[in-house]
Amino acid sequence: MDIIKAPRGVRDILPDEAWKWAYVLETSRKVAGFFGYNEVHLPLFEHTELFSRGIGDSTDVVEKEMYTFLDRAGRSLTLRPELTASMVRCYLEHGMSKKVQPVKLWSAGPMFRYERPQKGRYRQFWQLDVEALGSEAPEVDLEIIAFAIYLFNALGLSNLEVVINSVGCPVCRPGYRDALKRYVGSNFDALCNTCQNRFERNPLRILDCKNERCREIMKDAPGIVDYLCVECSEHFKRVKEGMTILGINYKEDKNLVRGLDYYTKTAFEVLSGELGAQNAVCGGGRYDNLAETIGGPHVPGVGFAAGIERIVLTMEGQGCDFGQQPGIDVFIVTADDLAKNKALKLLYDLRREQISVDMDYTGKSIGSQLKTASNKEAKLACILGGVEIEKGVVTVKDLRKGSQSEVANDSFIDYVKANLAG
């Protein structure tokens, strides 16, 4: 029988990589603290309707990418493909409109999308998701963009490009939609099949088609910024002013529309050259009507999500520092069973002192235990044999310097502590 392997598009994050993730997540947590965002944990699955209504029936995510199943009671549930709709549901369900607005939340965890796997694109991937709910103020859009930039700077990322656009609102978008359809209609036959299908259902999506010919056609398409109503236009202007005040470089991209239907006003992405085709490290924007789409009152909101795999890939590509890889400081080496009993006691005495320490339980030779100690990059090997037990000492070998000394039992812990600190 063949060994069962993990399904296509999902990855095991092994220890050699997991500590880098921990660094990214810890840094994110710190930045969230500086910006006043609180952590929430949300369910991995929700009612399918939350996503089909919230994200939009004609989006790729809802049409083709959701992991949807019936539970034992016949209810349709879906593994979350993103977090924004769940965040809004959580805000509504817990009456958060009574709190000081905006309510600022963040969360991190796995998302699920049935996509074609490639570098930086997986079927299970992690997002850091940051949302501010309950305010229309353009300064909140600015804060969300600044959060992303501040985080990427803190992680040491460079050469990132911030692209922004405004996708308007239900007041101004219909006018733009008509203008776009007029333009696209005269080039209809040259569009790819997918875009021909999008023409009636979701013409704005044609703007970010990856097909070369469609892109060529859309280069000269009318831009939504020329169709914005006064409110959207003023809002966009203020967000851009704020970016200038904060010294955030950005590029306006009139064709940036994002793949989810809930966006209104600000849309933005942060791109990295390190990632190839899947070049967005993060994406986000404003979604003032999402709460109503899922049955709630009007709750404006803005946020972003960043892919943890893509952050780590970009950091690796740019040789960024992930801090210190966790390892063992001390390895205890024993000669026989009598020594083993004494060693067990020392092992837990050291752990209680918050020193990272390990030993061998499998009866390896002293030589091979010492090899394990250096493979684990331990700083000290503490050797216990018959001689040491008799003399009431431990032989401490400093694996960094190659030096060795006998240390009396009662000063052992202090000696180890002083040595590791020095």
Distance CA 223, CA 207 (A): 10
Q: Which of 151, 240, 303, 312 binds ligand HAM (CB under 6 A)?
A: 303
Q: Where does this chain touch ligand HAM (CB under 6 A) — which range of 126-134, 153-161, 198-206, 226-234?
A: 126-134
* Cβ atoms 112, 127 nearer than 8 A: no
Is 82 labelled a binding residue?
yes
Burial of 376 (0-12, 13-18, 19+ CB in 10 A): middle
Distance CA 108, CA 345 (A): 39
Is 101 labelled a binding residue?
no
Exposure string over 5-44, b if 16+ CB within 10 A, otherwise e = eeeebeeeeeeeeeebbebbeebbeebbeebebeebeeee
Q: Measured from the CB of residue 81, what is the shortest distance to ligand HAM in angstroms?
A: 7
Q: Where does this chain touch ligand HAM (CB under 6 A) — which range of 114-122, 219-227, 337-345, 401-409?
A: 114-122
How many positions of this chain bind ligand HAM (CB under 6 A)? 28
Q: Which of 131, 143, 253, 358 binds ligand HAM (CB under 6 A)?
A: 131
- Strand segments (E) across 90-123: 103-112
Measured in whole angstroms, the distance separating CA 342 from the mean position of its chain's CA atoms is: 45
Distance CA 306, CA 127 (A): 5
Is 258 labelled a binding residue?
yes
Q: Which CB, 176 or 304, lies closer to ligand HAM?
A: 304
* Tokens coding 385: 């044999």
Q: Which of 80, 86, 129, 256 binds ligand HAM (CB under 6 A)?
A: 129
* Cβ atoms 205, 259 nearer than 8 A: yes
* Cβ atoms 47, 81 nearer than 8 A: no
Q: Where does this chain touch ligand HAM (CB under 6 A) — which range of 37-45, 91-99, 118-126, 197-205?
A: 118-126
Distance CA 210, CA 223 (A): 18
Handedness of CA 242, 248, 253, 258 (dihedral sign): negative
Q: Is 56 in the site for ligand HAM (CB under 6 A)?
A: no
Residue number of the CB closest to ligand HAM reads 307
Q: Is 358 in the site for ligand HAM (CB under 6 A)?
A: no
Q: Which CB, 309 or 360, lies closer to ligand HAM?
A: 309
Q: Where does this chain touch ligand HAM (CB under 6 A) — which range of 115-123, 221-229, 344-352, 403-411?
A: 115-123
Q: 3-class SS at 310?
A: helix
Distance CA 351, CA 357 (A): 7
Q: Which CB, 132 or 370, lies closer to ligand HAM?
A: 132
Q: Measured from the CB of residue 308, what is the shortest distance to ligand HAM in angstroms?
A: 8
Q: Is 115 in the site for ligand HAM (CB under 6 A)?
A: yes
Site for ligand HAM in 304-333 (CB under 6 A): 304-307, 309-310
- Sheet containing strand 45-47, strands side by side: 45-47, 76-79, 68-70
Site for ligand HAM in 79-98 (CB under 6 A): 82-84
Interacting residues toward ligand HAM by CB under 6 A: 82-84, 113, 115, 120-122, 125, 127, 129, 131, 259-260, 280-285, 287, 303-307, 309-310
